[in-house]
């Protein structure tokens, strides 16, 4: 009941309303039984319109990375989706603006402790990695992702699956070869109720 009440409060949140070009529409999914937690950046315009997290090309690539069908990916009894910012923050330069910090400060400290079943948290992008890893984060996102064994098996940093990052994927073939097999093994084990895998060495 505490989680349901909190999610109702989050979805009714208007803290940043004056700063959101499309207005508030918090997008979050969580359950006390969730085993996998996906922490991304903030909704884009398509997700803002649909209210469905990862409802875009980035989401298709992420589901492919995890080898999860949409019905499993969106099963909030098993998968919690909690971005760093719950609402679309607007544009900045050639991409979206950073997530608003109010969500992280106001809601994350209340929400995350109510997810006791989470065995693996995927930290997608620099903002999630900065928040969860703190001083353990490396100098660059590439270095942080390359050091995934330092954080596994409970935390795994990932690049953002945006089409804008295709060049990064091509330049870092170790990601497909080393990181994704471990993540897929962990996700499959967790969602099947089996123990999570140990970091590959």
- pLDDT in the model for residue 94: 77
CB-based burial label for 113 (10 Å; 0-12, 13-18, 19+) = exposed
Contact status, residue 153 vs residue 120, Cβ threshold 8 Å = yes
Q: Decide: 6 and 110 in contact? Cβ < 8 Å.
A: yes
Q: Where does residue 183 rank: exposed (0-12), middle (13-18), buried (19+ CB within 10 A)?
A: buried
Rounded to the nearest 10 degrees, what angle do helices 57-66 and 180-191 cross at?
80
pTM beyond 0.85: yes
Q: What is the pLDDT of residue 27?
A: 98
For the chain, domain boundaries:
2-191
Q: What is the mean pLDDT of residues 21-37?
A: 98
Superfamily of domain 2-191: Uracil-DNA glycosylase-like domain (3.40.470.10)
3-state secondary structure of 96: strand
pLDDT at residue 91, rounded to an integer: 94
**Rounded to 5 degrees, what are φ and ψ at 81?**
-125, 110
Which is higher by pLDDT, 119 or 196? 119
For the cut 80, the answer to whether the pLDDT of residue 180 exceeds it is yes
Q: What is the pLDDT of residue 71?
A: 97
- Write out pLDDT tens, residues 37-73: 999 999 999 999 999 999 999 999 999 999 999 999 9
pLDDT tens digit string along 130-162? 999 999 999 999 999 999 999 999 999 999 999
Whether the per-residue pLDDT at 4 is higher than 70: the answer is: yes
**152: closest CA among 201, 111, 114?**
201
**CA distance linking residue 43 with residue 9, whole number of Å:** 18
Provide the sign of the torsion angle of the four alpha carbons 189, 74, 49, 5, taken in this order.
Answer: negative
Average pLDDT over residues 12-40: 97
């Amino acid at each position: 009941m505490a989680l349901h009440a909190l999610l109702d409060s989050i979805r009714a949140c208007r803290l940043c309303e004056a700063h959101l070009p499309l207005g508030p529409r918090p997008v979050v999914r969580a359950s006390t039984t969730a085993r996998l937690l996906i922490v991304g950046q903030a909704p884009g315009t398509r997700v803002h319109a649909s209210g469905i997290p990862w409802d875009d090309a980035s989401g298709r690539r992420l589901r492919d990375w995890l080898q999860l069908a949409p019905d499993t990916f969106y099963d909030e009894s098993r998968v919690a989706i909690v971005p760093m910012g719950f609402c679309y923050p607007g544009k900045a330069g050639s991409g979206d603006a950073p997530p608003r910090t109010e969500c992280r400060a106001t809601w994350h400290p209340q929400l995350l402790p109510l997810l006791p079943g989470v065995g693996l948290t995927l930290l997608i992008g620099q903002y999630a990695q900065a928040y969860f890893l703190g001083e353990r984060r490396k100098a660059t996102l590439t270095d942080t992702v390359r050091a995934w064994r330092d954080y596994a098996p409970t935390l795994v940093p990932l690049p953002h699956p945006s089409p804008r990052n295709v060049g990064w994927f091509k330049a870092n073939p170790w990601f497909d070869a080393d990181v994704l097999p471990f993540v897929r093994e962990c996700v499959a084990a967790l969602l099947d109720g089996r123990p999570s895998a140990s970091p590959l060495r």
